[in-house]
Amino acid sequence: MTGRPDIWAVVPVKEMEGAKQRLAGLLSPAQRRALIEVMVGEVLDAVAGATRLAGVLVVTLDPAATALAHRLGARVVTDGARDGHTGSVVAGRQLLAREGRGGMITVPGDIPAATAAEIDAVLAAHLPGPSFTISPAHDDLGSNAVVCSPPEAVPLRFGDNSYFPHLDAARRCGIEPTVIRQPGIAMDIDHPADLASFLCLPQSAGTRTRAFLEEEAVPRLLAERGLS
């Protein structure tokens, strides 16, 4: 990987079995498990394809995620992998800080429409450190891509309403945040309504996630529930 030196991606992936419970009314456990694996694979492909990264760090204990990460040449660490999204990211960036890395970008594993070009665009907008860049979720609640230079420049806490708190946290650290919106990065999938929005997103065309959803008749199921 070439380009901007020494910014590493941190991708937290929790164990896939039993995940995405908010989709339980639409998809079976086996379908949810398969969907997560497809999404994580697409996110890791996008990160691995970005040209402005020095490396990729996947924080996970999940065997499938570990295999995907190794296939793409990413580092895998297990510390913090059972400490939730925030704990996993914190563990990853603490490791990068100990190694003296220049910065980190973190993205979740459920933004399957994200592309390498979008990740590169976020990194291109990132200023020399100390600096903080954020690409929010489509609802301006989640923080779907966050860049920190150095890795621990701004305290992070992820959740359903983290975007504006992260802006405030950066400013409390004396850093004016850079905000850059990207449609694929913005489209995280947690609820059935998110699946409907994803299927309407032009960028979802050609993704493995969309093909999987169509194979499982999800568009029809969403229409039956008035969500299409």
- Nearest CA among 160, 82, 155 for reference residue 146: 155
Asked whether the predicted pLDDT for residue 69 surpasses 80, the reply is yes
Q: Would residue 203 count as lying in a domain?
A: no
Average pLDDT over residues 187-211: 95
Q: Would residue 128 count as lying in a domain?
A: yes
Q: Would residue 147 count as lying in a domain?
A: yes
Q: Which residue bears the tokens 């990211």?
A: 89
DSSP string for 70-134: HHTT-EEE-TTTTSHHHHHHHHHHHHHHHTT-SEEEE--S--TT--HHHHHHHHHHPPSSSEEEE
Q: Would residue 222 count as lying in a domain?
A: no
Asked whether the predicted pLDDT for residue 227 surpasses 50, the reply is yes
pTM of the entire structure? 0.94
Q: Would residue 206 count as lying in a domain?
A: no
Distance CA 228, CA 191 (A): 13
Other residues' Cβ atoms within 10 Å of the Cβ of residue 152: 15
Give me the number of domains the chain comprises: 1
Asked whether the predicted pLDDT for residue 111 surpasses 70, the reply is yes
Per-residue pLDDT tens digits for 10-36 = 999 999 988 899 999 899 999 999 999
Residues forming a β-bridge with 136: 143
Q: Would residue 214 count as lying in a domain?
A: no
Show the domain range for 50.
Answer: 7-188
- Residue 5, SS3? coil
Distance CA 199, CA 92 (A): 32
Asked whether the predicted pLDDT for residue 41 surpasses 50, the reply is yes
Q: Would residue 207 count as lying in a domain?
A: no
147, amino acid identity? V
What pLDDT shows up at residue 148? 98
What pLDDT shows up at residue 1? 39
Per-residue pLDDT tens digits for 131-164 = 999 999 999 999 999 999 999 999 999 988 999 9
What pLDDT shows up at residue 228? 75
Side-chain half-sphere of 4: how many Cα atoms within 13 Å? 24
What pLDDT shows up at residue 25? 87
Average pLDDT over residues 49-59: 97
CATH number at residue 104: 3.90.550.10
Asked whether the predicted pLDDT for residue 3 surpasses 50, the reply is no
DSSP string for 198-225: HHH-GGGTT-HHHHHHHHTTHHHHHHHT
What pLDDT shows up at residue 158? 96
What pLDDT shows up at residue 5? 61
Q: Would residue 95 count as lying in a domain?
A: yes
Asked whether the predicted pLDDT for residue 2 surpasses 50, the reply is no
180 token code pair: 């850059």
